[in-house]
Chain A
């Protein structure tokens, strides 16, 4: 086991036993040993937080355990923030989360790494409604606003946030798991740039500090909004054609939200990625096996007449998930 892996393992043990003081001590030890803040974040805290997510998704940990662990990782990050002493010399950046996105920890980690690179960062916290965002955006020298989105169902909120930021005249760099591994989704929702890591964002911000970009417009598919407007009606129709899905209405709703995000970005992969874990995770104790597959097939019928585009995206995601064409 490498040194890093053993530290992550040690932290996971402390998170599991709710040992906040132990976790903070571990972080202080690493810092006293001369390790940079960014390395502690990317090699200890972020991997541990990802494991927390995996444990929750696989139902090994319940939601209370997940919250406790997240709070400790958060406290460890706050410990690093307090001890940071880099003088900001490179310009201002605002970091915020997409509207609806309450997973603030990835954005906080990103914000702290940017601070370590000399940027003066203002972190706005978790989800802020787009219409309220303007009053939090400063009038002073800010190179860009970074918008973080972890869950693809909040990409529509990300688009609203980006539009609000552009209304105030600032360029946007988008990042987070929801945007995937290419710039495509970010561009579709109107971001002026996209970065997977703080290092990439740093390079982009440096460029923009000298030469601000023209502000993009969103090119997302409005069919997604029409779909969202009738979401509950679609769920009712789904349960009419497939009464066995009634106990799983909540899961079906989540399925629809992912479909909306896939239509918004024109990327079936947004839904295809979610289908396996939607299938594996669910809180209905007696749910039927393969009910996600049943829901997808029934949704195909429900969408047939009025939402042809959404249907196409659904089928594309289905075949990526199952590895073959769907029922004709």
Chain B
């Protein structure tokens, strides 16, 4: 193992990972074995940096974190290409922080340039290769394989655009209702006991309560469960802004 000379702040800069994450991965998965200074400060090596980059690449490609860490720890480390060691590398989370209020990347476009090895939960996995950042047609993501992802994401995209164009709270609510309906759900008044009702009021206070409904176990239900919460959150914030602007 190479001798440790890098402080955690430098490792954080090189990998784009926050120090707390580096420490957590070290503790949780035994991924790194830093040297310590006399004062107890961790000193990392270039091998440690490569291991962190490899784990991060796998996770962003769809691997579960524990499987990725085990994979890398066992000695199979993808050689990082020069472009990936750039200090200016920005992680997707930072990009999404610029968004207002809820700050989620809801309905964001799927990453198109990364090869996606199958998640390694059972150990029978593809080895990550040096060409991780390669354009491929195949997608191992089970959501896209099921054909659900594109339709749901397009509907969420359309709803978000409609909300952006809204000039009144009522129009925001209309966009939300249209989203539910376009995915195969319905919207109706509050009812006491119905298994297929989502207990969230999409009227956002603009009139009588409106509750979405979708048959249990239907694809409409699965899509709405995945996409509705974040969209409702965005709509809520927008309605509050529109009300405030009118005062």
Residues of chain A whose beta carbon lies under 8 Å from any beta carbon of chain B:
20, 24, 62-64, 66-68, 70-72, 74-75, 78-79, 81-82, 97, 102-104, 122-129, 132, 135-143, 167-171, 209, 212, 214-215, 250, 283
> Which residues on the A side are within 8 Å of B24 (C-beta)?
169-171, 212, 215
A283 lies within 8 A of B192 (CB) = yes
When C-beta atoms are compared, the residue in chain B nearest to A210 turns out to be B20
Q: A139-B17, A167-B66 are in contact. Are A67 and B201 (CB under 8 A)?
A: yes
- Residues on B with C-beta less than 8 A from A168 are 59, 65
Bound complex: CA A20 to CA B204 (Å): 11
How far apart sit A171 and B229, CA to CA, in the bound complex (Å)? Answer: 22
- CB contacts (< 8 Å) of B93 on chain A: these are 137-140
Contact A78 B236 (CB under 8 A): yes
Residues of A within 8 A of B244 (CB): 79, 82
A168 to B68, CA, bound (A): 11
Nearest A residue (CB) for B102: A123
Q: Which residues of B contact A (CB under 8 A)?
A: 16-18, 20-21, 23-25, 27-28, 56, 59, 64-66, 91-94, 96-97, 101-106, 108, 189-193, 198-201, 203-205, 208-209, 211, 225-226, 229-230, 232-233, 236-237, 239-241, 243-244
Are A140 and B94 also in contact (CB < 8 A) when A63-B190, A124-B229 are?
yes
Is the Cβ of B65 less than 8 Å from the Cβ of A167? Answer: yes
Residues of B within 8 A of A143 (CB): 20
Chain A residues in 8 Å Cβ range of B226? 128-129, 132
A136 close to B230 (CB less than 8 A):
yes
Contact present for A125 and B233 (CB under 8 Å) = yes
9 pairs across A/B with beta carbons < 8 Å? A24-B243, A63-B190, A64-B208, A68-B209, A123-B102, A128-B230, A139-B17, A212-B27, A214-B27
State whether A82 touches B241 (Cβ < 8 A).
yes
In the complex, the 9 A-B pairs of residues with the closest C-beta atoms, listed nearest first:
A138-B93, A78-B240, A125-B233, A71-B205, A67-B209, A139-B93, A139-B91, A125-B229, A141-B18
- Other-chain contact of B230, A74, A81, A125, A209 (Cβ < 8 Å): A125
| CB atoms of A122 and B104 under 8 A apart | yes
A232 → B minimal CB distance (Å)? 12
Nearest B residue to A56, CB-CB:
B192
Query: When chains A and B are docked, how far (Å) is the Cα of A139 from the Cα of B28?
Result: 17
Question: Please, how many angstroms separate the alpha-carbon atoms of A223 and B114 in the complex?
Answer: 40
CA A102 – CA B244 in complex, angstroms? 26
Q: Which residues of A sit under 8 angstroms from B200, Cβ to Cβ? A: 102, 104, 126
Closest to B230 in A: A125
Could you say which residues of chain B place their CB within 8 Å of the CB of A141?
18, 20
- Within 8 Å by CB of B236, from A63, A74, A124, A132, lies A74
CA distance A125 to B93 in the complex (A): 17
Which residues of the other chain, B, contact A142 by a CB distance below 8 angstroms? 18, 20
With a cutoff of 8 Å between Cβ atoms, the chain A residues found around residue B96 in the complex are 138
Q: Which residue of A lies closest to B20 (CB)?
A: A212
In the bound assembly, the distance between CA atoms of A128 and B232 in angstroms comes to 12
Contact in complex: A124, B104 (CB < 8 Å)? yes
Chain A residues positioned under 8 Å from B64 (CB to CB) = 167
Q: Which residues of B contact A127 (CB under 8 A)?
A: 225, 229
> Closest residue of chain B to A211, judged by CB?
B23
Give B42 Cβ to nearest chain A Cβ, in Å.
Answer: 13
| CB-defined contacts of A170 to chain B, threshold 8 Å | 21, 24
> Does A124 contact B102, Cβ atoms closer than 8 Å?
yes
Contacts of B103 in A (CB 8 A): 122-123, 138
Q: In the complex the two chains form, what is the Cα distance from A124 to B48 in whole Å? A: 33
* A54 to B197 alpha-carbon distance, docked (Å): 22
Hey, which chain B residues are within 8 Å of A214, CB to CB? 27-28
Residues in A whose Cβ lies below 8 Å from that of B236: 74, 78
* A64, B233: Cβ atoms closer than 8 Å: no
Q: Are A250 and B193 in contact (CB under 8 A)?
A: yes
Q: How far is the CA of A67 from the CA of B202 in the complex (A)?
A: 10
Chain A, residue nearest B201 (CB)? A67
Give the Cβ gap from B9 to chain A, nearest Cβ, in Å. 12
B139 to chain A: closest CB distance in Å? 15
Complexed CA–CA distance, A169 and B26 (Å)? 10
